[in-house]
Amino acid sequence: MQHTFPIGRRVLQGITLAAAITSGAAMAQAWPTKPISLVVPFAAGGTTDVLARALGERLSRALGQPVIIESKPGAGATIGADYVAKAKPDGYTLLVGAVHHTIASSVYRKLPYDFQKDLVPITTIAMVPNVLVVNANTPVKNVSELVALVKAQPDKGNYGSNGNGTAQHLIGTQFQNSTGIPLTHIAYKGSGPLATDLLGNQILMSFDTITPVLPHIKGGKLRPLAVTTSTRSPALPDVPTLDEAGLKGFNIGTWFGILAPAGTPKEVAERLNTEMVKIIHSSEFRKRMEEIGADPIGNTPEQMAQQIKSETEKFAKLVKDGKVSVD
């Protein structure tokens, strides 16, 4: 005679939990089984693209799967962010996000996604200072001369950025308010096309990140006038800060990091963080970052989330004070 014994609720819960842990561990071990996409929300040739390729190449070796760099530019990096936010949360589609996304939340009146709810941080790749540059043929050697030039010839007053609602856009707005000079904002889809027009004397200046303009500065085609962070950049030690140039209150750099769609399995997110941080902290990667004027970070998802939260709040105030908005 066989007896069937009822299984208690706690035993069932224990079995369910054990199964979930085993399943999660198995998923982390099995993942990845196909190529991973790093979505760059800007045109090719900019800092985001350079960082994505530097990380992607090494991540591919670490995971044993191809890492594809997928460019989805436009609307101040929000098109790419929306694409990843709506992607399947399986660890195969990731966003190479940046500080711009914490600004866009306040600049764009209607975004089809919530940056803090629909995406989860993996790690910050690097911090890159922004620099005010002009074409080397422009007859100015410092910020004071630039301001004097625009005051004398207001029709020349313009600057390019990576798009509406980006850090460059906000820096330009703050620069205009601080100096009182009229500046027309010209938005591009990334640093590549922006640099092309700056080199061709189609625009007066830009506040781009150091990475895409550094080769042109070293080549004598662009002239740096000031960095927008509170301290000088090791990549351009002789270039003053805007504060040193007489404009107070500037301290905006650009961070870049990896985010995944909300709902990505915890075990996969943890594996991504572990592998990426290992790469970012390596001497090989650090050397590459020094070459492009970037400071490698490689932090925890919690630290990155706190950074996003605090900067979203900070930029909301700057956006409101600068009366910046995009429909």
Provide DSSP, 148-183. HHHHH-GGG-EEEESSTTSHHHHHHHHHHHHH----
Q: What is the DSSP string of 193-254?
A: HHHHHHHTTSSSEE--BHHHHHHHHHTTSEEEEEESSSS-BTTBTTSPBTTTTT-TT---EE
Spell out, as residue ranges, where the chain has pLDDT lower than 50: 1-5, 7, 11, 18-22
Contact 57, 69 (CB under 8 A): no
> How, if at all, do strands 131-135 and 222-227 pair?
antiparallel
Task: Specify the pLDDT at position 25.
Answer: 54
Contact 169, 319 (CB under 8 A): no
Would you mind telling me the total number of residues written for the chain in this entry?
327
Task: Specify the pLDDT at position 27.
Answer: 56
Residue 78's Cβ-side half-sphere holds a number of Cα atoms within 13 Å equal to 22
Give 34's DSSP letter: S
Residues 224-234: pLDDT tens digits? 999 999 999 99
pTM of the complete model: 0.84
Residues in a beta bridge with 306:
none
**Phi/psi of residue 248, each to 5°?**
-90, 155
| Alpha helix (H) residue ranges in 246-322 | 266-280, 283-291, 301-322
**Phi/psi of residue 175, each to 5°?**
-65, -45
Rounded-to-integer distance, Cα 104 and Cα 266, Å: 27
Q: Which domains does the chain have, with CATH numbers?
A: 26-127+254-322 (3.40.190.150), 131-227 (3.40.190.10)
Q: Which of 111, 99, 129 is nearest to 304 (CA)?
A: 99
Rounded-to-integer distance, Cα 170 and Cα 51, Å: 22
